[in-house]
Amino acid sequence: MELKPIGIVHSTVKETGDMPHDGVGAQVEVYPEYADGLLRIEGNSHIILIGFFHRADRDLLRVDRFPAGGRERGVFGTRSSSRPNPLGLSPARLLRREGNVLHLEELDFIDGTPVLDIKRYSPGWDCIFSARSSRDLSTLPDRDHKHLAEDMMTEAANFHGERCPGIALAVRIMVHAMETWQIPQKEPGLVLSVGSDGCIADGLQAISGATLGSGRLKVPGGRTYRLIYQDKAMSFYPNEVDGLSVDDALKADLEDLFALRDYAPTHAAYVAEKAASTRSVGPDLIERVNESLAQGRLPCAVAFRIAEEMGVPVSHVGRAADLARAKIALCQLGCFR
């Protein structure tokens, strides 16, 4: 077996421990004798680099990347740089080619890493959206909280095409659901109902693995994003925040980003409540709803005022609106249900 480096990485990062999670802008200098292999490579938006981690520990067969999780793994089931043959595999966006030098948007190889091979990234072959790793099926106590949001941001940005505040909001939604319900990131039983903001919708689909074909992704539109798991649900209504940045979306208090509603009725309780509301909806309530309609719609604030004045739960007002064939306006949090 004979391997020869075809090039070398030039990066501002000299030490492995200093490398940011997503890498940094870098260059790959391909040696002159291999430069002909770069012909028309600039036609690809992304390439895959195979490097040799020359500083890695080659004697380890088990690693514990996050000691707090307490779950040791064999290196062949991880992306650890420590392994018998420390080959690094990294896809990167190709910004441009200048002769035998490739300029990359982000690369997590440190300065001086020998490059053994370069291949084009093929979306058709290399992207398997339905795939899951052991990490994706781990609950939060088994994962390092420091890296969780970073991992999700990378996954969402690769799917969406860029890092933006919308996918950061999606990450906050998913982290909150994982913390509240103690479920893994790609819980097979989690159903998402997404609104019309494509960035948030893309982010949620990317990090949850939900698809229309699996029945786990619903697209009703509107501004509400609802997550449903077993007999529990939570709804997120994004607040209007001027000039929201990615960092703001990742660090701000959740209540500053969303109007949030958690509710967890059992199916039996839901049926009983629905039946009770049906029995409690009399002609007076239906008449009051009809009198309060504005162009066939019942505004949220009006519904709550009716409930307060007539001394009934707002869900009863919602049932009366259904019986009156009214359209419930403005309420995006499911308050009537």
Extents of the domains making up the chain: 7-126, 135-259, 268-329
- The pLDDT, as a whole number, for residue 337 is 45
Q: What is the CATH number of domain 135-259?
A: 3.30.1330.130
At residue 51, the pLDDT reads 97
d(CA 301, CA 136): 41
pTM, two decimal places:
0.66
Q: Does residue 25 sit in helix, strand or coil?
A: strand
Question: Candidates 3.30.1330.30, 3.20.20.140, 2.40.30.70, 3.10.450.50; correct CATH number of 7-126?
Answer: 2.40.30.70
Residue type, 227: L
The residue type found at 73 is: R
Q: How many secondary structure helices (H) and strands (E) does the chain include?
A: 10, 15
Q: What are φ and ψ of residue 332, in 5° steps?
A: -110, 0
pLDDT score of 264? 61
Q: Is 239 strand, coil or helix? A: coil
How far apart, in Å, are the Cα atoms of 175 and each of 32, 52, 140, 204?
48, 34, 9, 11
Give the model's pLDDT for residue 172: 95
The ranges of the chain with pLDDT < 70 are 65-70, 134-146, 263-280, 327-337
Residue 277: exposure state from Cβ atoms within 10 A (0-12, 13-18, ≥19)? buried
How far apart CA 31 and CA 102 sit, in angstroms, is: 11
Identical fold for domains 7-126 and 135-259, yes or no, is no
Query: How many angstroms separate the CA atoms of 19 and 11, rounded?
Result: 10
Residues with Cβ within 8 Å of 244's Cβ and at least 6 positions away in sequence, in order, are 165
Structure confidence at residue 332 (pLDDT)? 43
CB 234 within 8 A of CB 263: yes
